[in-house]
Structure 1
Amino acid sequence: MEEKNLIVTEQEQGKRLDVYLTSALDISRSYAQQLIQRQGVTVNGKDAKANRRLNEGDRVKAVIEVQEEYKVVPQDIPLDIVYEDKDIIVINKARGMVVHPAAGNPDGTLVNALLYHCQGELSGINGVIRPGIVHRLDKDTSGVMVAAKTDEAHKGLAEQIKAHSAHRTYWALVHGNISEERGIVDAPIGRHPKDRIKMAVTFKGGREAVTHFKVLKRYGDYTWVECKLETGRTHQIRVHMAYIHHPVVNDPLYGYKKDDFPIEGQALHSHCLDLVHPITGKAMHFEAPAPADFLACLKRAEEKD
């Protein structure tokens, strides 16, 4: 068992307890409700119901099960395959899909789907929980990502990501009207000093993080931007855009609490991936078109303009 101690921020005020735990612990809502029902969650030292509305400063303690090993089984889950050969597979990941099994998400993940589709032929470098996974996307970030079928391909892809020679381009809808046409956020990222679930810009102990952004379209109080990662820190775009006071729309961790957009999770999409094939050496470009919910957010922003 593992104890998680959380403090509700101003942005999280007003959320139901079960909804808050879903984003704060990156677990499913049903698992959050199970924790509450079996009295594994307290608010300010007292048991609470799932529909309790939280206030800024509330102290939430959750005791969750920690499983060192999961039995990861192949599952026949539909995949949107962008490209595939005997060495790599490129997927357009759906928003809401968890990449690999973890507490609260033991199955139904991208890994389960890949095991079924690839008939177990995936790189074993990252162990039985994350076979083939070279990089990841947050649960509520959609878009293109690559997985490795062989250890040799995995090593080649990992080296490109480490050397920043593989380029990832994202689309995001953010709050505010960004005046510059383009810019660079160069600010180190580390674990948030008070909320251990979150990341934050921190100049003491943070790791180098660089995000390049370009304005694609302005909608008055919102801006559609393209972001290119020079580094790949956890939640990097979400943290950096919030740091420059333009948080991603509907971001449950770093955004504003009263967003009115037709999307579950942050309006962030992995649009393009450029890499060199780890075996053939061929330069490759992959794209995942913006999903319907992201396009609906752009339409809503235009209507608000």
Structure 2
Amino acid sequence: MIEEDELIEDDLSEDAGFAKTPDAQGLYEHFRVVVDKGQDAVRIDKYLFERMQHSSRNRIQKAADAGCIHVNGTPVKSNYKVRPDDIITLMLDRPKHDNTIEAEDIPLNIVYEDSELMVINKPAGLVVHPGAGNFHGTLINAIAWHLKDLETFDPNDPEVGLVHRIDKDTSGLLVIAKTPEAKTHLGKQFFRKTTHRSYNALVWGNFTDDEGRIEGNIARDPRDRLRMTVFPPDSEIGKPAVTHYRVLERFGYTTLIECILETGRTHQIRAHLKHIGHPLFGDERYGGTEILRGQRSSTYRAFIQNCLRLCNRQALHARTLGFVHPTTGKQMDFTSDLPDDLAAVIDKWRKFVNGQLTSDN
């Protein structure tokens, strides 16, 4: 599954207890990853640090010292060099949280549906998939309810369901596969970059050029495990990522742009735009709730605060989605209107530029 906003869940949080005397019969698997065939030889603690969301490198090293990091069924130390096709597991002395997906009656905005797939327009604020801290009330719980009478669909079966993801506070289009065949077919399209996806984003600052290309490896920020950061393309840190952008409308201190992904990495748009000095408006994690451009007047500060209240999240919307239908072979293209909160804040900036705002706005 190719995921623009994928976050890998793990269980090395600060309250995780490691088995001091590991016993293969008494340990439970909490995390698993298969090393890519083209992976270079790197220390396992470095390798896992880039893939485990809530864990510091020090915590991973402690887990290895305690015998909880296994490779192909055997405990290894933190200096072990990973090899292609290695199966790495985290084994702890307690069962993993029950992640069974339960059907929940949550409204869905279904743009298209047939026997093979669904296209959903996700609202901002809705978590896509159950995970740490969000085991209920997600999009997947809602889909499980919607398809509860479809005997061939099991929401707990990884061979069906989500083909890609977007962040909780990103709105817009997602495709869901109802059958294993559909998911395989759609997954290959995402992998081969033959799908068509574009995002609308309101960002801080005025771009010099009308369009451009951002390239830089994406990896977790060592100072904030819930944030991604950008490293040079030729570095050995992170995964290669490319974002293309095009200016749609200029508001002086902010700009409305279209983003097209060449790759699909965690927080790619958010991290890339932060990297070039144009963080998403309202994106608190990446600095977008600060007043980064503009005037020093109290009127302007009040205007920005009103904008942030209107759109209380990162101003990012997955606007278009296009793919080939897995059964009919027909090209399917969908467009989602900007949600009310994002449309309202853009309109407010238009009025600001045109001098139509009063001190009360």
TM-score (norm 1): 0.75
Provide the C-alpha distance between the structure 1 equivalents of 2:213 and 2:149, rounded to a whole number of angstroms.
41
Q: How does 1:197-208 map to 2 (within 5 A)?
A: 197-203=226-232, 204=235, 205-208=237-240
Which residue is equivalent to 1:91?
A: 120
Correspondence for 2:350 among 287, 291, 302: 302
**Counterparts in 2 of 1:170 and 1:220: CA distance versus 1, 3 Å:** same
The answer to whether structure 1 residue 246 and structure 2 residue 278 are counterparts is yes
Offset of 1:297 from its aligned partner?
1.4
Aligned match of 2:140? 111
Tell me the amino acid that sits aligned with residue 314 of structure 2. Q
Aligned to 1:139: 168
Indicate the SS of the match to 1:265: coil
Shift of 1:256: 3.2
Structure 1: which 5+ residue stretches go unaligned?
Answer: 6-23, 26-64
| Alignment partner, residue 280 of structure 1 | 328
Give, as a single letter, the amino acid of the residue that structure 2 aligns with 1:288.
S
Give SS of 1:197's match. strand
Counterpart-to-counterpart distance in 2, 1:116 and 1:167 = 29
Within a 5 Å distance, the mapping from 1:198-237 to structure 2 comes to 198-203=227-232, 204=235, 205-237=237-269
Q: 1:154 to 1:227 in 2, by over 3 A?
A: same
Using the TM superposition, give the Cα deviation of residue 190 of structure 1 relative to its aligned residue in structure 2, in angstroms.
1.2
1:170 to 176, 199, 205: 199
In the alignment, structure 1 residue 258 sits paired with structure 2 residue 297: no
Q: Tell me how far apart the structure 2 counterparts of residues 230 and 123 of structure 1 sit (CA, whole Å).
A: 31
Contact 2:159–2:180 under 8 Å retained in 1: no
Would you say the 8 A contact 1:185–1:212 is kept in 2? yes
Q: Which residue of 2 aligns with 1:46?
A: none
What is the DSSP-based 3-state SS (H/G/I as helix, E as strand, rest coil) of the residue aligned with 1:296? helix
Alignment-mate amino acid for residue 103 of structure 1? A
Could you state the TM-score of these two structures normalised by the residue count of structure 2? 0.64
Alignment of 1:173-192 (within 5 A): 173-192=202-221
Q: What's the RMSD between the two structures over aligned residues?
A: 2.4
**SS, match of residue 119 in structure 2:** strand
* Within-5 A mapping of 1:13-28: none
Q: Partner of 2:273: helix, strand, or coil?
A: helix
Distance 2:180 2:115 in 1: 12
d(CA) in 1 for partners of 2:238 and 2:170? 23
Instruction: Give the distance between the partners of 2:144 and 2:352, measured in 1 at CA.
Output: 44
Q: How many residues align?
A: 247
Q: Which residue of 2 aligns with 1:292?
A: 340
Shift of 1:131: 5.0
What letter is aligned with 1:198? Answer: R
Q: 1:258 to 1:66 in 2, by over 3 A?
A: farther
Which of these two proteins has the greater Rg computed from alpha carbons?
2
Q: Contact conserved, 1:242 with 1:254, CA < 8 A, in 2?
A: yes
